[in-house]
A and B are shown apart, each in its own frame.
Chain A
């Protein structure tokens, strides 16, 4: 009997995990979603842009209700202070205090840079739930990234006109967290690289606390998003995700 137990233990320990064999690319993405899911969240974020030899910082606060709604307000620098971004149902509205006007962003204009950073508004509106509709997936050979074993997924857009025609994603095999993503154009040109530089464990969930996006078309630039504070499942005032809140001074 003891031999049987030892054999089973040895088999379990030496064989690859069952999940690695059977999970499809979208099942892996679902697992990432499940890890990341929250009802509401509040965060305080530093956005640090490095452009050539210049470093520029912005600070902001963010409220989020699931993946669908978010409200961001910039606190600094002075020229950005009071700029607010509202995302509801994939539509983005931006309030500019210098003009005291709201602009609704749509279509190809979502590809514009978000507040001068390497992120675009489109990067902000993308929803994981749509990935399955918009991309076909395949698994590539597993890889090790910064010492962590990773699943590697290659997603190819069903629509050739999609901004990111292909996405290569490294997913932490143990924590089910995306660690790196390379975004490619239809021509095969590398457009952007997203890396997760710091991961925190909050209430039993792994969450990226420092991510970097580098827009390869802009040249020598990168933007770090550093989450200074994050709270999950907090009560958010009811009119937070409204246009009225955008205009509130």
Chain B
């Protein structure tokens, strides 16, 4: 009997192709929305966290605790030292793949008769090539190299100074001991990240020049450490902390990216916001599926009356309704799952551009010191997202027929003939 019910259910769903097609369409659209939406949100979270981890905090950030506390004012004398010995310890720590030093300080930039305030970041160009990806945002010229020292400058700062590639810029700062020190630099490139904070304020200079300007000897402000598996950062950070215990002061801390304040404060908030949006999308998709399935079953009360008159018991009718719902839910969810995965897969390759209309001046007032955010982000698709979404589609389809299935058990065949479309 059960086998016959399954066959009947399968035949039933294809009897009225228009009705089944509409129901499937609702489920497919719901599935695509959920899969793409979840991947889109994962992509946004990832694209916001990724540059912060790679460029700003590394997998492990070695920094003076006091510098971290006062980071907004960029204190000059809260340093990581002795640099040579600490770097030797890092090189010997298992898992450590690479490291880079950073120095950030306030500057006065002068070009001809014009001058502007800004922030200089001292970097090793070859060490940060893979993380900063500055070549991708270079508007003119190119990044300086170890052989060709110079300076790269944000497009808006360059415009304010009236400077172009090849021009000389004078940078002035007050050093570790509050002496004033200046150096001339030739502009090798003008970058445009598309975010005001960087484009309006920042210049990148060679690390050695930054150290000379700040009068740092065998010292830096921070070291970003990169390891093979960044999920292992807490364990490696502990090993580094133990390793430097004898050579550096207790104020020098190795902070894994998971414990970084930026990640700890921004990620949960973003997850909460985007999670709410995702639940809203899932709710809407569930309602669309529910509504369409409900209509599909309820317009068939007359038909239910006939099969009951033919001798179907209440149990058989309920099984029939649930089987039909399962078939439609399964087919719709599978098609929706495949289409949703395909669409997401395509945008994973092309990326979704935020466009120039999204300007980081909006972020100027944000407390999180974001120093680099990509202008395009890439949705993050996983098998889990697809499987969970397909299960969600099937469960929503089955949930939709609870009420009509219950109603059918309470209905006599005569009543069903009379009811027609009345519920």
What is the interface of chain A, defined by CB distance below 8 A to chain B?
49, 51, 56, 58, 77, 79-80, 83, 94, 96, 98-99, 101, 103-106, 109, 112-113, 115-117
**With contacts defined as CB atoms under 8 Å apart, how many contacts are there between chain A and chain B in the complex?**
62
**Which residues of the other chain, A, contact B181 by a CB distance below 8 angstroms?**
79, 96, 98
Additional A-B contact list (8), CB under 8 Å, known A77-B177, A103-B172: A77-B179, A79-B215, A94-B172, A96-B181, A96-B182, A98-B182, A103-B170, A116-B179
* A-B pairs with beta carbons under 8 Å apart, 16 shown: A56-B178, A77-B177, A79-B215, A80-B180, A83-B180, A94-B172, A98-B181, A99-B172, A99-B183, A101-B170, A103-B115, A103-B172, A103-B182, A113-B174, A115-B174, A116-B178
- Find chain B residues with CB under 8 A from A106 CB: 113-115
* Cβ contact within 8 Å between B115 and A96: no
Complex-state Cα separation, A196 to B308, whole angstroms: 105
Find chain B residues with CB under 8 A from A109 CB.
Answer: 108, 115-117
User: In the complex, what distance in Å separates the CA atom of A80 from the CA atom of B116?
Assistant: 22
B72 to chain A, nearest CB (A): 12
User: Whole-angstrom distance from the CB of A247 to the nearest CB of chain B?
Assistant: 14
Q: Give the chain A neighbours of B184 by CB distance below 8 A.
A: 99, 101
State how many angstroms separate the Cβ of A92 from the closest Cβ of chain B.
Answer: 11
Which positions 313-350 of chain B face chain A at CB distance < 8 Å?
A: none
Binding site for A on B (CB under 8 A): 108, 110, 113-117, 170, 172, 174-175, 177-184, 215
- Which residues from chain B contact A56 at a C-beta distance below 8 Å? 177-178
Q: Choose from B115, B174, B177, B180 the contact partner of A105 (Cβ within 8 Å).
A: B115
Which chain B residue has the least Cβ–Cβ distance from A104?
A: B113
Q: Which B residues are CB-close (under 8 A) to A112? A: 108, 117
Closest to A218 in B: B73
In the assembled complex, the Cα of A214 lies from the Cα of B112 at a distance in Å of: 32
Q: Which residue of A lies closest to B176 (CB)?
A: A79
Closest to B110 in A: A103
Q: B215 — which chain A residues lie within 8 A by C-beta?
A: 79
- Contact of B113 with A80 in the complex, beta carbons under 8 Å: no
CB neighbours (8 Å) of A99 from chain B are: 170, 172, 182-184
Give Cα A83–Cα B117 distance, bound, in whole angstroms.
Answer: 20
Q: Which residue of chain B has the shortest Cβ distance to A79 in the bound complex?
A: B179
How far does the alpha carbon of A106 sit from the alpha carbon of B114 in the complex, in Å? 8
Question: Which residues of B lie under 8 Å from residue A113 when comparing CB positions?
Answer: 174
B184 — nearest CB in chain A belongs to which residue?
A99
Contacts of B116 in A (CB 8 A): 109
Q: Which residues of A contact B174 (CB under 8 A)?
A: 113, 115-116
| B125 vs chain A, min Cβ distance (A) | 22
- Contact assessment for B178 and A49 in the assembled complex, using a CB-CB cutoff below 8 Å: yes
Query: Does the CB pair B182–A101 fall under 8 Å?
Result: yes
**CB of A194, distance to nearest CB on chain B (Å):** 19
A110 nearest in chain B by CB position? B115
Shortest beta-carbon distance, A214 to chain B, in Å? 15
A103 cross-chain contacts in B, Cβ below 8 A: 108, 110, 115, 170, 172, 182
Query: With A103-B110, A103-B170 in contact, do A79 and B115 touch (Cβ < 8 Å)?
Result: no
Chain A residues, Cβ within 8 Å of B178: 49, 51, 56, 115-117
Select the residue from A49, A56, A79, A105 with max chain B CB neighbours within 10 A. A79
In the assembly, what is the distance between CA of A12 and CA of B402, in Å? Answer: 106
Shortest distance between the CB of B41 and any CB in chain A (Å) = 41
Q: How far, in angstroms, from A212 to B406 measured CA to CA in the complex?
A: 88
Q: How far is the CA of A198 from the CA of B289 in the complex (A)?
A: 85
Residues of chain A within 8 A (CB-CB) of B115 are 103-106, 109
How far is B115's CA from A105's CA once the two chains are assembled, in angstroms? 7
- The residues of B that contact A115 with a CB separation of less than 8 Å are 174, 178-180
Within the complex, the shortest CB–CB distance from A141 to chain B, in Å, comes to 38
Give the residue name and chain of the B residue nearest to A114 (CB).
Answer: B180
Residue in A49, A51, A96, A104 whose beta carbon sits within 8 Å of that of B180 in the complex: A96
In the complex, how many angstroms separate the beta carbon of A16 from the nearest chain B beta carbon?
47
B170: which A residues are within 8 A, CB to CB?
96, 99, 101, 103
In the assembled complex, how far is the CB of residue A35 from the closest CB belonging to chain B, in whole angstroms? 33
Complex CA gap A56/B76 in Å reads: 14
Complex: A104 Cα to B180 Cα, angstroms: 15
The CA of A49 and the CA of B115, in the complex, are separated in Å by 26
Chain B nearest CB: distance from A122 CB in Å?
Answer: 14
- State which of B113, B114, B172 has its C-beta within 8 Å of the C-beta of A96: B172
| CB pair A80 B172 closer than 8 Å | no
Write the chain B residue with the least CB distance to A81.
Answer: B179
Chain A residue at minimal CB-CB distance from B111: A103
Interface contact A116-B180, CB-CB below 8 Å: yes
Q: Report the Cα distance A51→B178, complex, angstroms.
A: 9
Chain B nearest CB, measured from A1 CB (Å): 69
> Which residue in chain A gives the minimum CB-CB distance to B116?
A109
| Chain B residues whose C-beta falls within 8 Å of the C-beta of A101 in the assembled complex | 170, 182, 184
Closest B residue by C-beta to A77: B179
Q: Which residue of A lies closest to B181 (CB)?
A: A98
Assembly CA distance A163 to B215 (angstroms): 31
Once bound together, how far apart are the Cα atoms of A58 and B116, in whole Å? 26
Q: How far is the CB of A117 from chain B (nearest CB, A)?
A: 8
- The complex places the Cα of A176 from the Cα of B172 at a distance, in Å, of 39
Cα A98 to Cα B179 in complex, Å, equals 11
Q: Which residues does chain B contribute within 8 Å of A116, judged by CB atoms?
A: 174, 178-180
User: How distant is A215 from chain B, measured CB to nearest CB, in Å?
Assistant: 13
Q: How far is the CA of A105 from the CA of B108 in the complex (A)?
A: 10
A98, A106, A112: most-surrounded residue (chain B CB, <10 A) = A98
Contacts of A51 in B (CB 8 A): 178
Q: Which 9 A-B pairs have the closest CB atoms?
A: A116-B178, A96-B182, A79-B179, A116-B174, A99-B182, A103-B110, A80-B179, A109-B115, A99-B184
- List residues of chain A with CB within 8 A of the CB of B108: 103, 109, 112
